[in-house]
Structure 1
Amino acid sequence: MTTEPMELSGATAGECDACHGGGATSQEEEPESPHERINRRWNEILQETRVAQTGVQILFGFLLSVAFTPLFHDLSTFDHTVYVITVVSGATATACLIAPVSIHRFLSGQRMKEEVMEAAHRLMMCGMLLLAVTIGCTLLLILHVVVPGVLAKSLAGAVMLWFALSWYAFPLWLRRRSTRRSTSPDGSA
């Protein structure tokens, strides 16, 4: 059993399968090998994780401090419930978004990079969903204090709809469009 670190060389972190059509970077370049592809995908997930981890950690730190403010005890039962949901979703989002680091440390050198990358991908997807819930609940909590009533819920709902569209529906639409284009007989959409 070796303890060598997993290789993280390969293409730059800014490249992705969607940008490459799942392989070659252009007509002039050689298609990437499976090893190069997994290295590139791992680098991409590391960069994405760094961005998401920073956001969730700052938000979670803010949420933890709210319960210790003088006005917290004056909030309604609804606000306390939203706060609990927000803190729990923030904690679980933090766990999901930091878990790839722990997985990598435990499995480094075991020649399991593809499995590690796939697990990290799944945890990132779960963490992003939980982060969206945390942001939406935070927004609802703040807006419910600032603009009580239906307006707060409507605004928070509209923002959550935007998250669903921009983080999930739009990328899935792009994927489906790309798949249709690549499977059409003439290669055009």
Structure 2
Amino acid sequence: MPTTTYAHFRDVPESAWAAWPSFSPAEIACRGTGAIKINTEAMDMLQSLRNRLGKPLIVLSAYRSPAHNKAVGGAPASKHMDGTAFDIAMANHDPVAFEAAARKAGFLGFGFYPRSGFMHIDLGPAREWGERFPARATAFAPEVPPAREVLADSRTLKGSGAAGVATIGAAGVEVAQQILGETQSAILPLVPYLDTLVL
């Protein structure tokens, strides 16, 4: 498998990265050193997976230098050190659909980390470990109409006279609270990883 290593992700020429438009070298680089090892087969699979899913992949860990891999407690022969493994947050994905798409894209190694909210995928050999994500009671990420549509359809706004006008404020606050709550539930699982990003 062809690989290219750069001392820092900022050294990667744009022409060398053109095949993977959904990602940046910074996302794939070592979080500890900024170095990057580009495995073209692995990156092609990652881009294929992104295309299949049709939504962003939040890459928590990709390439790791041997020193950084040791520092974070990675396996001694971790595929991350080869640039052939990715840890992807499940905050915006249904784990079952994600795993199926990853298998179709050609990934063979799977590690499940529901408590930390991510799934490890790599080029193989074929194996899996960890406790699978619990089944979701409802479909993942139901489409929510924009706030203005929710307000426009509310009985409060359709009311006439002073009663309708007097309660618009309460309806607006309720919708705003709902939207903020949904946003917070999507962001909170990512907070522990924000401090580890190297830019």
TM-score, normalization by structure 2 = 0.29
Higher helix share: 1
- Determine which structure has greater relative contact order: mean sequence separation of CA pairs < 8 Å that are 6+ residues apart, divided by chain length: 1
